[in-house]
């Protein structure tokens, strides 16, 4: 004998809504997996991004070793700094942020690089920026969070590599921040850069 076909009970509106919700959730999960494999449109796909930091002010300290609150970026981009500045150009020794922040206040840009094993080709490329623009400091900074970090007043740009997206990001950073003075109205007296033959130790509080 043939068994009669089974008849399914009609679904209620609530059951239909639950089924649609389950299908929607499944589609969303599948989409998330696809983005996870192909690369989601996040920070990496968008290229290097400029990060803005809170302004910590313009206070002067007598020396780089003088105690002060920690900076809120790495390297520091505002806050306590010496009344003198570092010479523009390429430095083979690390310059303390307590000194070069004053250069940033004048509208300069610091290009810091982290290269413990030596990287002459990278330094040579970074040097070209100091030759192209007058208010630039290129300096090694061992404590950076990325191989190359550009700093302007209250802004940083971190680069994992000097490729074409990185170079474009560097150019945009220079276009926006180079030469923009940041002294407050009625600014305190200070010496204008460069002021050569001064010590620039790389000591002092860093970011927490």
Torsion sign over Cα 34, 38, 44, 46: negative
pLDDT for position 160: 96
Output the pLDDT for position 170: 98
- As to burial, measured by CB atoms within 10 angstroms (0-12 exposed, 13-18 middle, 19+ buried), residue 38 is exposed
Please tell me the predicted confidence (pLDDT) of residue 3.
55
Q: Where are the domains of the chain?
A: 12-41, 45-177
Residue in this structure with the two tokens 């940041």, named with its chain if needed: 182
Segments of the chain with pLDDT less than 70: 1-46, 186-208
What pLDDT was estimated at residue 47? 84
Residue 207 is predicted with a pLDDT of 35
The single residue listed with the structure tokens 């170079």 is: 167
**For the chain, the helix, strand and coil percentages under 3-state DSSP, each to the nearest 5:** 30, 15, 55
pLDDT of 69 reads: 96
* Structure confidence at residue 120 (pLDDT): 95
């Amino acid at each position: 004998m043939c068994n009669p076909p089974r008849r399914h009970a009609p679904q209620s509106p609530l059951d239909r809504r639950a089924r649609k919700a389950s299908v929607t959730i499944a589609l969303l999960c599948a989409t998330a997996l696809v983005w996870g494999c192909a690369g989601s449109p996040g920070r990496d796909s968008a290229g290097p991004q400029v990060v803005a930091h809170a302004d910590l002010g313009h206070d002067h300290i007598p020396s780089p070793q003088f105690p002060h609150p920690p900076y809120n970026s790495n390297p520091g981009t505002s806050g306590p700094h010496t009344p003198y500045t570092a010479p523009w150009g390429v430095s083979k020794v690390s310059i303390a942020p307590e000194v070069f922040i004053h250069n940033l206040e004048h509208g300069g840009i610091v290009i810091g690089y982290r290269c413990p094993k030596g990287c002459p080709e990278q330094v040579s490329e970074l040097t070209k920026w100091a030759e192209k623009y007058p208010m630039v400091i290129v300096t090694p900074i061992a404590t950076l969070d990325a191989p190359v970090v550009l700093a302007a007043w209250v802004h940083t740009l971190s680069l994992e590599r000097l490729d074409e997206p990185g170079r474009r990001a560097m150019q945009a950073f220079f276009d926006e921040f180079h030469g923009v003075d940041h002294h407050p109205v009625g600014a305190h007296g200070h010496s204008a850069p460069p002021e050569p033959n001064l010590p620039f130790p790389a000591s002092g509080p860093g970011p927490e």
